[in-house]
Amino acid sequence: MTHTPPIAVVLATLAAMLAAACGPQRIASPSRPESELIVLLPDAESGTVGRARVSNPSGSAELAAGREATQVATNQRPGPTHILSDGDVKRIFGGALSALPTPPRRFTLNFRFESDELTAEARALLPEILKTVKERSVPDVVVVGHTDTTGTPAANIQLGLKRATMVRNLLVRVGLDASFIEVTSLGEADLLIQTPNETPEPRNRRVEIAVR
């Protein structure tokens, strides 16, 4: 079976799911002897549904919709595809799904034009970020600074780090434990909006926060 990420493919082996907790989700399902139920689930973080091709020597089946499933038995081609209901997914896989790590939440904070000050909209996100961190039993927060293409790459690494550090300090000020926070900078190396060099672009002047 091959697949195109991002997808979560439900397989009938719990051990395989646990071993791949950081990759595509593989979740145990009740199955008949020599039979597997394979289900395509939306990505837990983005909700995006990819595609999966289920194949064996007897034939293949294409899964392309959320909760689309097929039954595979030894020496038989994969069965006709069908869509499981939300209730069926929870009933069959609820225990295994609940054991998966909570997907990270991501926040983007933008800066005012020609300023190291956050926009009002960005500042308004700080309480929500703090609330999200407190919902994690063992939180991990990564703060990454970004810039537009004005200035040199080396200077923009430092500027991105300055912005990320400022956001870290704001988070600590509103109650977040500093030991949970990792700060880094990509400068102009990961543009949200692709622009030529020396182009001011406010959407690229940002700090991205991932709460895991």
* pLDDT given at position 20: 37
Residues 6+ apart with CB under 8 A from 131: none
For domain 105-211, give the CATH number: 3.30.1330.60
Q: Is the whole model's pTM more than 0.85, yes or no? A: no
| Maximal C-alpha separation, the chain | 66
* pLDDT given at position 35: 85
* Alpha-carbon span 163 to 109, nearest angstrom: 10
* pLDDT given at position 103: 85
- Residue boundaries of the structural domains of the chain: 2-98, 105-211
* pLDDT given at position 30: 53
* Alpha-carbon span 136 to 141, nearest angstrom: 10
Between strands 181-187 and 141-146, the pairing is: parallel
Exposed, middle or buried: residue 86 (CB in 10 Å: 0-12, 13-18, 19+)? exposed
H helices then E strands: how many in the chain?
5, 11
Structure tokens belonging to residue 75 = 């020496």
Which parts of the chain sit beneath pLDDT 50? 1-28, 31
Nearest to 191 by CA among 177, 206, 176: 206
Between strands 68-73 and 82-83, the pairing is: antiparallel
* pLDDT given at position 29: 53
Is the peptide bond preceding residue 104 cis, with omega within 30 degrees of 0? no
